[in-house]
Structure 1
Amino acid sequence: MTMQLAQRHHMDAILSFAEDNARVGHLPGELIGRSWKRCIHEYGLDPCRPRNARIVTHQTLREHQDSVDEFLNVARAGVDQLYGMVAQLGYVLLLTDHRGVTVQYLGDKNSDRRLRQAGLYLGADWSEQYAGTCAVGTCIQEQKALTCHRVDHFDATHIELTCTSAPILDPFGKLLAVLDISALDSPHARHSQTFALNLTQLYARMIEDAYFLRRYRNQVIFRCDASREFVQVNGQYLFAIDDNGRIEASNTAGRALISDTPAAAESEGRPSLTQLFECQLRDIWSIPFDQEDQVRAFRHQSSGDTFFAALVQPRATLARRNRDEAPEVLENVPRLDALAADDPVMRRTLGLARRLRNRDVGLLILGETGTGKEVLARAVHDSSHRSKRAFVAVNCAAIPESLIESELFGYVSGAFTGARAKGMRGLIQQADGGTLFLDEIGDMPLQLQTRLLRVLAEGEILPIGAQSPVRINCRVIAATHQNLEELINKGAFRADLYYRLNGATLRLPPLRQRADRQHVIQSVLKNLIADGGLPDVRIRADAMSALLAHDWPGNIRQLVNALTFAEATCDGREITASDLPEECLSCHPLFVGGRDDVTSGSNPLLDALNEHHWNISRVARHFNVSRPTVYRWMNQQGISSPRFLGHSPD
């Protein structure tokens, strides 16, 4: 089909669509369709009368450039970098102001005449009102990133072009500029521009954020991201804040986060970071002091998701805060501090435990099975003034109901048949002066709950068969994975005992929700090595990725078992993904799908074996592991070497 005929078909398609009778030619998507209708019904453009590219005068261009001069100084580095990535693919780069006039342009000088004729040039006006449906003009109208590919364009002279644009917004959400990459001769397939769209959006965000940082360079900026590793260099959310933590401006991602947080979105006046995250003002200003990497974890008020934050501070502000406003530093308590690194829930839990460790108020520790409730209780005891006396742990779910009373309260000589001749001090009495830890308190029988309540209320116990009570002075810490309030409603737990035990609640998050999972993994391994007197062993990156991706339904208890297994079975002194228990590999790329992938042909190990003709040494080098590891992988996934091969698999 000649170009003239193609243009004629395109004009007919637009007219047919505008008349709601789209029976010929290209049927546009919803966004492009809206633009076509605007061109005809609002701007009065005629698809049968193509318009030449409009290049504004030098004086007009200068006026447009001057209006965004500070922005252009910031954007130039990003524009140059993006053009360097796409130039060899035949793209030119346009940066327009909010009215669609190209204020910065990079293109191939060898194609200068064709580019100017097509309007891919400095000073070109790509507003939708003049140029019709196009990436820049439609991006301005829709405030969305888009690709206008070939026959998406309204003007028939543009149907060989492909153009991709993304909006750049100012700190208050107002359109500031449009970033565009375009090509004169593009492939016919629309999906060929998917990467162009993603790349343009990425650089638009980078330029937008660089401008935000420049504009608020004299204010404190709270920068956060879902990744701790990237927050300092590429934090997705930016908030300029005042001394009271109130948000004065934010980038696009930050504004979206505010709108998703009712407490912040509905606040009168400027919202505060304390309405956006579960924190206090001191938590924000202490970010540079709390962790070596000057990053701190926060939990989002609405979703509960974890974000990692850093502060970008002007030099004068930083000096003043270091001198005059260094935050209160809590007393170091090594046994408690060792239980976590930087997790918001653990930080709050350990802060409360630190303050209450020397108080005789009852503590109730809540958390899923395996989260370390007894470890926390023991750390509270070891950090308290009772540390030189006994810590007695009682698993209320493990003692047979027929024995629990005698185990807890003890008995005197001759109290019942089979009793010891000298009687026995019960566990509560053994904890005198120290700490009594009642694990799985939700499983204690109601009758025993009544007696325990009396002990707590009166500070004395009556051993079985005794005539007079025995005074005791112990701190009680209880723990459970159950919902005690639901048990109270069902009549399975005494409300008065609940309130007696619950002087303060310490909550332990499940391992899968902890922001410091990597610290926990390394700490558990370190303790295993120390307790067993073992040589040092390290966790390789592939194994750490698999461990971090696992859901850990058994929490830290399951992690201990997994690392114990991995340490015992690893080759040398390095744990790789293949050394982990099979249940830990459900999210690891090499093992996703397990044996099912072997039969489907999508298994990476089987693919590598076939590629290297079942030469195990080459496959081991391919994955950078030892030959025994490859054999173990094959065994785990039920892969056997084919017998018909005429050469050695080694």
Structure 2
Amino acid sequence: MTAMPLAREGPVASGTLPIAEPQHVEAISRSHERCEALGLSRRDRPEHARVARAELAAARERNLRLHLHAAPLMEILLEQIMATQSMVVLTDAQGTVLHSVGHDDFLQRASRVALAPGANWSEASKGTNAIGTALVNEAPTVVHAGEHFIHANGFLTCSAAPILDPRGNLLGVLDVSGEHHSYHLHTLGLVKMSARMIENHWLSDDFRNGLRLHFHGRPEFIGTLMEGIVAVDHDGRLQGANRSALEQLHCSGAALRMQSTLSLFGVAVGAIVDHFRSPIAPPMVLNLPDGRTLHMRAAFSWPAWQALGAPQAQAQAPLDIAPPVAAAGSLYAAAVGLRAPAQGNSGISGLHYLRTGDAQMEAVVAKVRRVLDRDISILVLGETGTGKELLARAIHHDSARSRQPFVAVNCASIPENLIESELFGYEDGAFTGARRKGAPGKIVQAHGGTLFLDEIGDMPLALQARLLRVLQERQVTPLGSTRSLPVDVAVVSATHRDLSAMIAAGTFRQDLYYRLNGLVVKLPALRERSDLMVIVQKILRAETEGRPLALHEEVAALLQAYRWPGNIRQLANVLRTAAVMAGGERTITREHLSDDFLEDAQRALPETAASSRGTLEDLQLATIRRALEEAGGNISVAAKKLGISRNTIYRRLRWGDGEPS
């Protein structure tokens, strides 16, 4: 076997990962052997040839559905890795790059080795690399620095995961490529999670009219990325599954498709349908043949299930059963430690969940309550990460439309050439690669319910006129069709942009703006809210499943002093990491916080605190002084915001002025 070559120079540019497992070393060695057998040379110059523009367009059309599912998650993934010297790449099953997002400087550098749309990154073309090797092995792969077969690619570290359909067929590869000096062990985990989210969306799309079973050994994991999902036909046969299901059931996709709900779970499909016809039905407890226990919920639409010829249930009037909250929809809900309100009004207010003691949020909730079910469009303003989608979901939950769909569209994350088909739908044959029988589009999917247009300020100007026409005429014409479909939707839109300035600049239509802004509410940034510690505790309870986890005083002071440019989403990421790092300990200390956050927080502190590397007393004093400044000197207001007593503030201020505390 050929020995795996080491890096050319430098301790960080090591040809092996910081922790290289034997199976990883074996996979790289085998890949190098394949490259040598193909006649590649390690000193080959990067091949800059790309497919012609027409061929790339055709490849994108063939993979339109993959692109639609992946594009929003690629943006989220890029935000999660928070590194300027990196990019996120999507390829098809042959290794051709379909789409990439990243920092402009690094995208330009990567293009020098043809890591750009239109280039092929199979092993036969580019030697050992994460994309090509993941395609060969159909397994998540990291290729670090000198592990690349071709020396010119050695400045990269790439983490890739294959994307499979519910029957195990390879759809493409999701990859994060970056400067090898910035390699992080967690990157592959984030890529794998994102690939699983794409696969789960694909499965739900494939079987949206069928029965889907969501399960896990622990009931609280249902509705998370760790849940298993299987699709079932009306006879009870299992048709497809996500990876988590196969892992939990200890079987291959082919073996699973030979089973039925009765043979695998010991329960007939009719009994499952009967049980879950009530929207408040508890999870079913299933016993596997090997004695293990699973907890399961079902997701299906009763009218669609009946249309498939499924067995009739024996209960009363049929109800639509809502699936567990999708990962993308519950992103912010998880961030604030709350479950996003499920479809189907349970009698508990969704807006109530947003009331955590902040006066500004109380005012927002009060305004929204007054216009519920009044056919008034709502425009939500706020910085990224402030919870605009959660507010939209809460509005839907508390409205008379709560049993109908809530459909969210992120206008910023969908490529401009795809947003029209995504919004308005298309007919069979509208373009090459279009799904047989067409697709309804998000607006039609929201019929009877709520349409949430997130980042509406990023919608292309050419489509704004068509959206306005749809909202005014209440009908939509899919691409390639001459037939208009009636639509009845409540509209909630959101943006972090200044739409008035965009109107003045001619980049946003004034008439659309007036159609969307029936009521305008602004969500405050986290740094402007008085309920930071309440939100912190909610996040920690969610992350630890209720297990008590306290903050050391120094950590609490750091959190309160920081300005939170990423708002609640950033806070959730910091606390999620800290909770994991704390393990079984009862208190989060400074050592449990990530280095990058500590550096940012340290720089954000006043000089009095930064000069001493942020001793506990300095941090507390700086935090109190900032709170007092923001409260206009009102000690009672500052004490409420910080969650401490007025006497504590007096005591700390005396200490800061040189008096003993």
Q: Give the TM-score normalised by structure 2.
A: 0.45
Q: Give the TM-score normalised by structure 1.
A: 0.45
Higher relative contact order structure (alpha carbons within 8 Å, sequence separation ≥ 6) = 2
